[in-house]
């Protein structure tokens, strides 16, 4: 499987996510760039989650049918936004109860667009994209409230 490069002009891999993009700031999504998208890509899926949440992985942002030639702008809805762990169709920024948590921004290049409703959650998106992933990559951001 090919590799995508996911990066942000706001923070580097394994670096601290600026407060602006968290519950302690403006709680808007950071700008992202997805590079190395292979030929034949019809859409991009982006999933942001926190595997360090006390009750298990917390889904912060689930987006699909993103155009493969799009840079994801700050405070934007680049595709169809699914339901996060708060039960909302939106971006929810880092807001860890304690300690430093890791936030994974995972991008997947698909050979199709997904025909699923906006009421879909991460597991629905993962199921729908099975067998259609051409490439994937991730960016990890860190955040603590102390």
Residue 81: its pLDDT value, please?
98
What is the secondary structure of 22-51 as a DSSP string? STTTT--PPPBEEE-PPTT--EEEEEEEET
* pLDDT score at 62: 98
Instruction: Report the alpha-carbon angle 38-84-109, nearest 5.
Output: 5
Mean of per-residue pLDDT scores for the chain: 97
Q: Which helix (H) or strand (E) holds 124?
A: helix 122-129
Q: Are 59 and 47 in contact (CB under 8 A)?
A: yes
Q: Is the pLDDT of residue 67 over 80?
A: yes
CATH number for position 122: 3.90.280.10
The arithmetic mean of pLDDT across residues 64-85, rounded, is 96
Report percent pLDDT > 90 for the chain: 97
* pTM score, whole prediction: 0.97
Read off the pLDDT of each residue in 30-59 and give the average, rounded to a whole number: 97
Mean predicted confidence (pLDDT) in 12-19: 98
Which residues are CB-neighbours of 33 under 8 A, at least 6 positions away? Answer: 5, 6, 7, 8, 9, 71, 72
Position 61 scores a pLDDT of 98
Total number of domains constituting the chain: 1
What's the sign of the alpha-carbon dihedral 140, 12, 20, 33?
Answer: negative
Range of the domain at 107: 2-143
């Amino acid at each position: 499987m090919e590799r995508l490069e996911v990066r942000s002009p706001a923070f580097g891999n394994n670096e601290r996510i600026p407060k602006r993009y968290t519950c302690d700031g403006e709680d808007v999504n950071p700008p992202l760039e997805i590079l190395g998208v292979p030929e034949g890509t019809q859409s991009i899926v982006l999933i942001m989650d926190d595997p360090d949440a006390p009750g298990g992985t917390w889904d912060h942002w689930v987006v699909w049918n993103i155009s493969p030639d799009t840079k994801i702008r700050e405070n934007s809805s680049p595709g169809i936004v699914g339901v996060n762990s708060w039960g909302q169709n939106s971006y929810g920024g880092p807001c860890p109860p304690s300690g430093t948590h890791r936030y994974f921004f995972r991008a997947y290049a698909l050979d199709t667009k997904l025909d699923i409703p906006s009421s879909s959650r991460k597991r629905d998106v993962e199921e729908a994209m099975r067998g259609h992933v051409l490439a994937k990559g991730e960016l990890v951001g860190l955040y603590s409230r102390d």
